[in-house]
Amino acid sequence: MIGISHSNEKRAIIDIGSNTVRLVIYNGPLRAPVVMLNEKVNARLGRDLDRDGTLSEKALKTALGALARFARLLALHRVRDVDCVATAAARDASNGPQFLDAVRAFGLSPRLLSGDEEARASANAVLAAFPGAHGTVADLGGGSLELIGVENGEIARHGITMPFGTLRLPELRREGAATFAALVRGRIEADTWRTAQGEPLYIVGGSWRALALQAMRELQWPVDDPHGFTLSAEEVISGARRFARGKIEDPDPRISSSRLASLPDAAALLGEVVKVLQPSEVVFSSWGLREGLLYAQLEPQVQAEPPMLASVAGFALAARVSAEEAVSVADWTAPVCDDDDGRDRDLRQASTLLALAAMRTEPNLRTEEATTWALRKRWIGLDMRGRGMMAMTVFASAGLSGTPDPFPRLASREDLDHAIGWGLAIRLCRRLHGGCLSALGLTRLAATPERITLHLGERALPLYNASAAKDLKALAEWLGREWNVVGPDGTAITP
């Protein structure tokens, strides 16, 4: 049985960045926190920093106004667990200490993160969102770019910070593409940054996520959320070259005007970083500094929880489906699900959760809605293959045949066929037992390479009917096996 840690206590992060000042309030599963409130103000604290080394009066006024509001909202929401952090602009400005003193007057306790601490927070976010991540994490903010290595689920080495934030990039690119490329390469090499070529590069930062959204639009990608979206190094360099030229044709409507304005600069920087680091692939993360700070606060046993299961379990609770219920159904269907190696155990449990939750929704909406959940909602720890298999499981569990067009772009035919088997098995279990968890112990599935057998206890005999026989037959035929049903004394039963 899986254990997912929940908390009724709200948690909040205030992120005082070089470009934006943001408040996010979370609750729900500790391992996959749910956003209750996400509010930001474009204070642009770092905009004029390179001119005279100070935070401008206009930026200070905007930031402090936002922080006064945030402090009041925290009091109204009765949030006691608050982590307030400041990054590059407050770190580099000569009047940064005075600014932080003004923040303290609101009852907040700001921490000034070093470049290494900022990089480690982003690395923790990637480790939290992609368990077992290995490679390099690159976090682009308004004032700086951080690089840090991760390996075998841990931070592998100290991070470096470089003055390549989005607010600084326009000036850095004025001398032309060749000069800018030499500057980026020279700075990375001067910091003696070394990473193994041929490993993933994990991308963090709003401007780079905007680049992912635009790439997804051009590819007509079937998934909306850029989290987990992956491109090859060659695709990134090619796309960066096009986007860096200036105006973006047919921009994705989800990209804000401010992000759209910085997209060419962010694309130019990413292209040069990829040329220097030569990664095997580029993976975009929607989790960043804030989620990394939350993850670092968790107990080790909570950090070890599967984020995908925590994410789906927290969502399914709203449909009154528990993780324990999904595990019981997954255990009941296990003999016919061909996952003895355990590779897809968590994915099958999460898919079962979503399929069961779909059955608690309006009948005429459930298939479309649940497929939308699988393809469009943000699931932490779920890759594109997993999304495709989860969507296919939900689709098959509703008794629908065929494979919708987007699914084969996400998962292989073999994987989708496995997921159809999962869905048909879930359908049999749910309908045979009438959705009653306590009834699962009255029946049992057994399987050989040639046959599927449904065993019925004495108290389960009235549950078996023509509909159950139809579901069992559909499952067996999909798996290419014979099927039969036996009673408590081992005799064959027909509906």
What percent of the chain stands above pLDDT 70?
A: 97
Q: Quote the CA–CA distance of 150 and 130 in Å, as a whole number.
A: 11
The pLDDT tens digits for 141-176 are: 999 999 999 998 899 877 889 999 999 999 999 999
Q: Within a domain: residue 302?
A: no
The neighbour count for residue 35, using CB atoms within 10 Å, is 13
Looking at 290, 319, 336, the residue that finishes a domain is 290
Range of the domain at 91: 6-112
Sheet containing strand 451-456, edge to edge, reads 443-447, 451-456, 482-486
CATH code of the domain covering residue 162: 3.30.420.150
Measured between alpha carbons, how far is 143 from 165 in angstroms, rounded to an integer?
Answer: 4
List helix spans (H) across 225-344: 233-243, 257-277, 289-296, 300-303, 307-316, 323-333
Q: What is the DSSP letter of 18?
A: S
Please indicate, yes or no, whether residues 348 and 207 belong to a single structural domain of this protein: no
| Last residue within a domain, chosen from 112, 145, 174 | 112
Do 440 and 354 sit in the same domain of this protein?
Answer: yes
| Residue in the structure block whose two tokens are 């004032």 | 143
Residues 172-221: tens digit of each pLDDT: 999 999 999 999 999 988 876 666 578 999 999 999 999 999 999 999 99
Are residue 124 and residue 162 in the same domain, yes or no?
yes
**Among candidates 427, 387, 388, 424, which has minimal Cα distance to 405?**
388
**For residues 390 and 113, what is the distance between their CA atoms, to the nearest angstrom?**
39
Asked if 392 and 402 count as a contact pair (C-beta separation under 8 A), the reply is: no
| Same domain (yes/no): 396, 442 | yes
Q: How many alpha carbons lie under 13 Å from residue 313 in its C-beta half-sphere?
A: 28
* The pLDDT of residue 341 is above 70: no
Give the model confidence (pLDDT) of 439-491 as tens digits.
Answer: 999 999 999 999 999 999 999 999 999 999 999 999 999 999 999 999 998 88
| 324 in the same domain as 279 | no
CATH number (domain holding residue 473): 1.10.3210.10
- Nearest CA among 1, 4, 41 for reference residue 306: 4
301 assigned to some structural domain: no
Task: Give domain status of residue 394, yes or no.
Answer: yes
Distance CA 211, CA 260 (A): 9
454-to-439, 469, 482 alpha-carbon distances in Å: 14, 10, 11
* Residue that the structure tokens 């494979």 belong to: 403
Q: Do 380 and 280 have their domain in common? A: no
- How many domains does the chain contain in total? 3
Residue 352 contacts residue 444 (beta carbons within 8 Å): no
Q: Which residues are within 8 A (CB) of 172 and not within 5 positions of it... i.e. 6 or more apart?
A: 164, 180, 183
- Say if 424 falls within a structural domain: yes
343-368 mean pLDDT: 86
286 shares a domain with 245 = yes
What is the amino acid identity at position 239?
G
Q: Is the pLDDT of residue 363 over 80?
A: no
Question: How far from 260 is each of 145, 174, 182, 207, 414, CA to CA, in Å?
Answer: 19, 19, 25, 8, 39
Query: Are residues 89 and 211 located together in one domain of the fold?
Result: no
- The predicted structure's pLDDT at residue 1: 41
Can you tell me the distance from the alpha carbon of 310 to that of 390, in angstroms, rounded to the nearest whole number? 15
Confirm whether 481 is domain-assigned: yes
Residue 107 has pLDDT above 60, yes or no: yes
Domain check: are 66 and 105 in the same one? Answer: yes
Cα–Cα distance between 338 and 329 in angstroms, integer? Answer: 15
User: Is 297 within the bounds of a domain?
Assistant: no
The mean predicted confidence, pLDDT, of the chain is: 92
Q: Are 233 and 254 members of one domain?
A: yes
The CATH number given to whatever domain includes residue 28 is 3.30.420.40
Residue that terminates a domain, selected from 65, 93, 112 = 112
Tell me, yes or no, whether 314 and 404 share the same domain. yes
What is the rounded CA–CA span in Å between residue 162 and residue 139?
A: 10
Domain match, 207 and 150 both = yes
Averaged pLDDT, 421-425: 96
- The answer to whether residue 493 is domain-embedded is no
pLDDT tens for 47-100 read: 888 888 999 999 999 999 999 999 999 999 999 999 999 999 999 999 999 999
Q: Which of 45-59, 149-163, 273-287, 357-371 has the highest mean pLDDT?
A: 273-287
Indicate whether 357 belongs to any domain.
Answer: yes
